[in-house]
Amino acid sequence: MIFSKVYTKLKLSAIFALLFLITSCNKQSTQKTGLSESVLFTSEISEDATPAVVSRILSAGEKAISEIKFEKGTYHFYPDKGKESFEYISNHCDLMVSTPFPIEHFKNLTIDGQGSTFIFHGVMIPFLIENSENIEVKNVTIDWHEPFHSEGLIVANNNKNKTFDMTISEAFPYEIRNEQIYFIKEFYEHSVGQTILYDPERSAIAFNTEAYTSISTRTKASVRNGIENIDYKYINDERAPEYKSLGNENRLTVEQLKPGLVRVHGHKKEMPPVGMILTMKGDQGFNRISPAFRVTHTKGFNGINVNIHHAGGMGIIAENSSDLILDNFNITPSKGRMVSTTADATHFVGCSGKVVLKNSTFNNQLDDATNVHGTYQKSVDVLGDNKLGVRMMHHQQKGFVIGQPNEKIGLVRLEDSFFPYAEVTINNIEYVNSRYQIITFNENLPESFKVGDLIENLDGYPDLLVKNCKIGSNRARGLLISNPVNTVIEDNFFNTEMEAILIPVESGHWFESGNAANVIIRNNVFQDCQHGGKNRGVIRFATDDDNENIAFKNIEISNNTFNQFDNLILQVTNTDGLKFSGNTITNSGTFPMLHSENPAVKVQASKNIYFENNSYKGKASSVLELAEGMQKIEFN
């Protein structure tokens, strides 16, 4: 019997252990002083390791644990007997979800797979690490039995009739309902939804996929009656999943030509080329439900020698945490799949202290390799001299608590400045619901405060290091960084579909806070980035407000190699202080140029921009393009 063996081991070691019972608010707590034990799970639990692991972790209050080890092997984890909790997860869906590793209120715990592979089934979060300190997960490979995305090989197309045909392997069961295809998984299904083309020869995003994808799945519903009369008292987020269908209907139709071969009608862009693989992951707002690691309110997390082959969401999403180190933490696909994780490889929201990504590979994920930012919350009620009602504006920020008592809050009015006009500190946050919280500050709000102003946590940004990583074959960006503290990006290799590095300030869509300052980008290789086809730079600074206010400061881009098939390398805007030096720019010839009219560098609304000792061997007829009204700068 599975349990008896494991528990025999526990009893033996317990003889030497002094155990304290800590019960606190019915939350599981580990022993913080005294002896705690190392638990070993053996392959006897491999058919479904969930119940044994959950049971031992939940009894850590009585029998403290310092280490959980697994005899090397392959372990399956099913959701059926997992510990369940409702999780509001930033940049994911919010859901009741089960985990085999409910690491909550733990301190100084190591989970060592000893080279094991963990195979997950259905909607689960493998590692749920909350309100903990010094947690390390190492030497483990994570995969899913069935992926949360599906793939179809394009075998024919007809641009005149606007159809394309694809074969769908047995790995991706499907059914067709009312001319719509649905991919059926263990415990999950998805529609076509969000799509992109992969080139199986390169195992990377297809060159110029923008010409063919996204597949146009939706169109406006033609019949609507009386809906304009519905009256919402408060801000209504029509982008939220509950409104996703409102006003829209399906544009595509799908017919089965024979089992495993379907014809798709109604796509508006160019038909996808034969030989490419269409990856489909279902509708936005519904398809990020199983990140591999969720880390929140945790001080100190190490992920070392971890391989994540798949996740229905991100590899790791960390929120409100500090001192996070990922070393040899690799995102790569398995089983011949084109796709690894279906969203970002890594993502950090409101994180501080050191955040380190090193010696890692982030390949084939369906979103950025990393994304580092805070959260703007919108003031909707002034409830007192020092008291605000705030609203979470983007549905993927629901439930996010902006900070802890005494942390520094910046008051921001983006139309005036990308930097805060005043600072206060948190006294208390009353969580009313996932969209609405009441924040009391230690200081009174300034006279100039207006309802509608945003708040951001100025203590919620990290010292960021991205070093010696391989980033590419993925959809979207490499690094998406809104960090006003310090950022060093060095010794990396980029081969991304969109920007290798995007540094934005934005407010109106994602409400992801943070400008950027003190960014060093050095000794990296940029190889054929932006091959998806967008007309944008490999490194790009961007704001979504059309003004000349400074958003970015003190930037160094030095000693990098840009070996690109196309011209545009760097786009600078709203920047004060950027030095671009010692870089080598060549033309790779890998793909045909798509935007040959471009210069290598575009600069606008910026000052103190310097170019020194760069080597340009590219094909642009004009290397540097300055926006009208800018002071003359030389490219050297």
User: Where along the sequence are the contacts to a second copy (CB under 8 A)?
Assistant: 3, 25-26, 47-48, 51, 54, 58, 78, 80-84, 86, 94, 96, 98, 121, 146, 168, 170, 172-178, 182, 184-189, 221-227, 229-234, 242, 245-250, 256, 259-260, 383, 389, 430, 432-436
The runs of H, that is alpha helices, within 402-526 are none
Q: CB-wise, 273 or 389, nearer to a second copy?
A: 389
Please identify which residue in the block is written with the tokens 């940049």: 91
Q: CB-wise, 378 or 470, nearer to a second copy?
A: 378
**In angstroms, what is the minimal distance from the CB of 170 to a second copy?**
5
List the end-to-end C-alpha distance of the chain, in Å, as a whole number.
73
DSSP 323-363: EEEEEEEEE---TT-S-SBSS-SEEEES-EEEEEEES-EEE
**In angstroms, what is the minimal distance from the CB of 569 to a second copy?**
45
| C-beta separation of 577 from 608 below 8 A | yes
CA 529 and chain centroid, separation: 19
Q: CB-wise, 177 or 617, nearer to a second copy?
A: 177
Please identify which residue in the block is written with the tokens 């049971």: 55
Bond before 214 cis per omega within 30 degrees: yes
Contacts 24+ apart (CB under 8 A), 399-402: 399/88, 399/94, 399/434, 400/88, 400/90, 400/319, 400/349, 400/350, 400/375, 401/320, 401/429, 401/431, 401/437, 402/350, 402/375, 402/377, 402/426, 402/429, 402/437, 402/439, 402/455, 402/456, 402/457, 402/460
**In angstroms, what is the minimal distance from the CB of 398 to a second copy?**
9
Q: CB-wise, 22 or 630, nearer to a second copy?
A: 22
Q: CB-wise, 98 or 487, nearer to a second copy?
A: 98
Euclidean distance between CA atoms 472 and 527, whole angstroms: 9
Q: CB-wise, 266 or 273, nearer to a second copy?
A: 266
| C-beta separation of 131 from 28 below 8 A | no
Angle of helix 2-14 versus helix 50-58 axis, rounded to 10: 30
Dihedral angle sign, alpha carbons of residues 627, 629, 630, 633: positive
**In angstroms, what is the minimal distance from the CB of 100 to a second copy?**
11
**In angstroms, what is the minimal distance from the CB of 240 to a second copy?**
10
Q: Parallel, antiparallel, or unpaired for β 501-505 and 101-104?
A: unpaired
**In angstroms, what is the minimal distance from the CB of 364 to a second copy?**
24
Q: CB-wise, 250 or 523, nearer to a second copy?
A: 250
Euclidean distance between CA atoms 252 and 372, whole angstroms: 36
Q: CB-wise, 176 or 274, nearer to a second copy?
A: 176
Euclidean distance between CA atoms 189 and 182, whole angstroms: 7
Euclidean distance between CA atoms 198 and 207, whole angstroms: 8
**In angstroms, what is the minimal distance from the CB of 524 to a second copy?**
43
Q: CB-wise, 80 or 443, nearer to a second copy?
A: 80
Euclidean distance between CA atoms 165 and 365, whole angstroms: 25
**In angstroms, what is the minimal distance from the CB of 53 to a second copy?**
12
**In angstroms, what is the minimal distance from the CB of 420 to a second copy?**
26
Q: CB-wise, 191 or 558, nearer to a second copy?
A: 191
**In angstroms, what is the minimal distance from the CB of 257 to a second copy?**
11
